[in-house]
Amino acid sequence: MRSVILKAGATVLTLGTTLASALYVTAHLKNPSAPLQPAVLVSQPGDTVGGVTITPGVRQSDVQPVTSTYAS
């Protein structure tokens, strides 16, 4: 008799958990507009002026250069 009660209790608990899970999932639908990954806010390919392309990581200036890169 005791084992039957335990089996019935386990069955009820399982079914109850399953039902509760189904209700919870139904009530908490995934936001379909949620991004899958961080969005790219702005594409910054860099400015090309006079054949020179400079990305935002490099700052231009009108200061007299102390040296330069050159072919050697």
Binding site for another protein (CB under 8 A): 45-46, 49-55, 57-72
Nearer to another protein, 40 or 62 (CB): 62
Nearer to another protein, 32 or 65 (CB): 65
Please give the full DSSP string across 4-40, using - where no structure is assigned: HHHHHHHHHHHHHHHHHHHHHHHHS---TTS-SS---
Residue carrying structure tokens 């231009």: 60
User: Residue 35 CB, nearest distance to another protein (Å)?
Assistant: 24
Nearer to another protein, 32 or 50 (CB): 50
User: Residue 52 CB, nearest distance to another protein (Å)?
Assistant: 4
Q: What is the dihedral of CA 20, 25, 26, 27, to 10 degrees?
A: 90
